Amino acid sequence: MKKAEIDALVHAHRGSARAVAFLHVLRQASLTPDDHGFLAEHAHELTSADLLRWRARSSHVERTPILVALAKLCEDKPAEFEHEVLNAPGFSFEDREWETLADLVRGKVPPALQARIERRETKAPAPAVALFAPSDEPVDLASMFDLDDATAPDASASKQSDGAFFGGDSLGDELGLDLGGDEGDPLFADPFAGLTVEDAFEKVKTGTNGDERAMLLDWLAAQGASAERLMSAALASLHQGPVASPVVAWISKRLGSKADWETNGHALFLALVQRRAFPELQELVAQAAGSSPEHTEARVATFGHVLIDAGRDAIKEKDEARAAAMLAALSALDATDETRKRFGALEQALHEANASAYLVTLVDLVIEHARAHRENPTEGMIAAVHTLSDALGS
């Protein structure tokens, strides 16, 4: 990225250089001189994982500031350095890096750690532990539990007396308990008995208990309420009542196809973004990890449309902080063909609002990143949510 773009992201993240490094700069496959300059300037704010990601994207001549930062980490937090760097699976420095690191930390770290660096000792990946060694004798489970042919219980016996295990009586009879039957028993009573359908819909929209609202949606479905009305009520509840994970989960389970996401996904993402429900938003996008490529693309596209709409509205309203957050998140998100077609709406909004050069730079960054191909769209969604949380969180 260019320095102006990095500066714009830092502004969007309210001065958090580490967030920009983690969520934006180090997610790039390769780094520009401006990227390296930014990371070097803020190396003291980076974690060991950040520094190693930076090293993986650097040539030999670019690694000096990384080694200096690692040496400082080794001096200030030797246990963390040993665990996170030297013990990282499969990791090792090159010869010249070992030499530089040893010189930088000499006399400043515990002797044992200094000696380990001098020996260039990393931790080899631990071998997989077999459950049974080749020399182990096979275990005779039948004899261990007296399940030989002569004493094994007759399988048919368990089917007698309607599945009872105690002399033909039920478990409740054996223990002297009156568990009752399904009918008339409080354990099996309808928890919403006496509630009208209309009252139930109102409680879904305005209730404060998320579990109860999700249960009411299932109860209404059992009463024959249409899927369209249920979905409308569930989405409305995210705007009118407290945002609740059970309700979000109820909605997401019913978005099982690309068409479903195109119909109702926008309202779901929009509600979570507008209400700044970042934990629920994070949970929602994480579900894409196990989805089909088509399903994941539908989520990415829907999220992208919401960020474009929210960003455009914030630009028009001259809410620069909110606009910057949406644009920074959009730059972290993978672009789909459908979202690329709508970038013109952002440029038009910038022109009509006579927006600052800062926002213009962020829109240019969004368009530039849209040309890049990224391998993990779910990672992009997660990065976008973290960007929103960092830029807009209290």
Tell me 166's DSSP state: B
First vs last C-alpha separation in the chain: 28
- Structure tokens given for 60: 């030999």
* Alpha-carbon 387 to chain mean position: 12
Contact 313, 282 (CB under 8 A): no
Contact 27, 57 (CB under 8 A): no
CA–CA separation, 360 vs 366, rounded Å? 10
CA–CA separation, 151 vs 187, rounded Å? 39
Give the sign of the dihedral formed by CA 338, CA 392, CA 251, CA 288: positive
Residue type, 335: A
- Structure tokens given for 2: 């260019």
- pLDDT of 250 reads 95
Contact 101, 76 (CB under 8 A): no
What residue has token string 């929103």?
388
- pLDDT of 158 reads 44
Report helix, strand or coil for 109. coil
CA–CA separation, 89 vs 124, rounded Å? 7
Flag residues of the chain having pLDDT under 70.
Answer: 124-189, 373, 394
- pLDDT of 165 reads 42
- pLDDT of 135 reads 46
H/E segment holding residue 281: helix 278-286
CA–CA separation, 363 vs 329, rounded Å? 11
Q: Rounded to two decimals, what is the model's pTM?
A: 0.79
- pLDDT of 156 reads 46
- pLDDT of 126 reads 53
